[in-house]
Amino acid sequence: MAGGGSAIRGSRVGAGPMGEAERGDTAPRQRIVFFCANGHETATVFAVEASIPEAWDCPRCGLPTSTDVNNPPPPPKIEPYKTHLAYVKERRSEQEAAEILEEALEKLRARRARGEVIF
């Protein structure tokens, strides 16, 4: 059983290796090495006219990096998880909390006195 079609499979008009003559010249490049606190080196290529960032993320550990091998940036300080109560305590003083609690208890007592069912 013979199939019809092109004798050269997987090709198309214009396919093939393109050289610099067809693409144009490549931009001048520079290789910049970044260092993280764990001692990882990350080499990245930038165009010569591109501005080099001060920091880069290490692809191995995710820490921030810099180009100074002797002074890499320290790991970021990780804030612990805060509970809802911790956020409330940041906004309210102990006296305000006591006043709010007493107001809520008065409302609850008033509802009970009226005979309302409280769940």
Residues annotated as binding site? 36, 40, 58, 61
CA distance 89 to 99: 14
Annotated binding site for Zn(2+): 36, 40, 58, 61
Helix (H) or strand (E) holding 23: helix 20-23
pLDDT confidence of residue 20: 58
Q: Is residue 98 part of a domain?
A: yes
Nearest partner of 68 among 43, 33, 38, 40, judged by Cα: 33
> Could you please report the per-residue DSSP string of 83-102?
PHHHHHHHH--HHHHHHHHH
- What confidence score (pLDDT) does residue 16 get? 60
> How many CB atoms sit inside 10 A of residue 53's CB?
13
Predicted confidence (pLDDT) per residue in 21-39, tens digit: 666 778 899 999 999 999 9
Structural domain harbouring 44: 29-66
pLDDT in tens, 52-99: 999 899 999 999 999 999 999 998 888 889 999 888 889 999 999 899
89 belongs to a structural domain: yes
Task: Confirm whether 11 is domain-assigned.
Answer: no
Our count of domains for the chain comes to: 2
